[in-house]
Amino acid sequence: MKEFTLTCTFTSYKSADELPDADLELMNEATKASNDAYAPYSKFRVGAALRLGNGKIICGNNQENVAYPSGLCAERVALFYASATYPNEIVESIAVTAQTDEFKISDPVTPCGSCRQVLAESEKKQNTNIRIIMKGAEGEVYVTESAQCLLPLMFRADKLKK
Ligand code: THU
């Protein structure tokens, strides 16, 4: 028997104002995208913005449905749209945020498990890390340099082979 420890590193900024310019720009785009979320059921409007290798910024927001599982998170809306439209471009970074009229979101919004799996596979596919910038409606911002930090021991395509 042996134990092992996996280490993940996060940077925490007190507020978005402290972010490097490029990250702040991306976060502002994510915030704009959250305004247009279709979230009549949860009323939790999430926005995501990706920066691609060609410099383009692609946005997404959560799209809900009365048949709840049919909806999709903001991160995957943006990631799948980017992959469908610019299949050969890498994703350099993603900013995620959310807003709601129901309560104060002061903790950073961190991607759900399914979005982590998709982010992690995007990294594997492109063979470079994706910087992830996470914020609530206000307050602290977390940044990590790789989706691996959000999903250690991810399920990988090579597990399907002998
Ligand atoms: N949601 C996202 O879009 N991204 C996340 O990272 C967390 C959750 C959405 C799904 C659903 O529409 C709403 O937020 C409440 O869970």
What would the pLDDT profile of 108-144 be if each residue is shown by its tens digit? 999 999 999 999 999 999 999 999 999 999 999 999 9
CB of 112 within 6 A of ligand 1: the answer is yes
Contact 150, 120 (CB under 8 A): yes
Question: How much is the pLDDT for 62?
Answer: 98
Residue 78 to residue 111: CA distance in whole angstroms: 13
Question: How much is the pLDDT for 26?
Answer: 98
| pLDDT tens column, 84-112 | 999 999 999 999 999 999 999 999 999 99
Question: How much is the pLDDT for 159?
Answer: 74
The CATH code that applies to domain 20-152 is 3.40.140.10
Residue 26 to residue 48: CA distance in whole angstroms: 9
Give the start-to-end residue ranges of the domains of the chain.
20-152
CB of 34 within 6 A of ligand 1: the answer is no
The rounded Å distance from CA 125 to ligand 1 centre is: 24
Question: How much is the pLDDT for 43?
Answer: 98
| pLDDT tens column, 59-92 | 999 999 999 999 999 999 999 999 999 999 999 9
Question: Residue by residue, what is the 3-state secondary structure of the chain?
Answer: CCCCCCCCCCEEECCHHHCCHHHHHHHHHHHHHHHCCECCCCCCEEEEEEEECCCCEEEEECECCCCHHHCECHHHHHHHHHHHHCCCCCEEEEEEEEECCCCCCCCCCCCCHHHHHHHHHHHHHHCCCCEEEEECCCCCEEEECCHHHCCCCCCCHHHHCC
Minimum-distance ligand 1 atom for the alpha carbon of 112: 6
C-alpha distances in Å from residue 131, one per residue of 17, 56, 80, 143, 150:
18, 15, 17, 7, 11
Question: How much is the pLDDT for 158?
Answer: 77
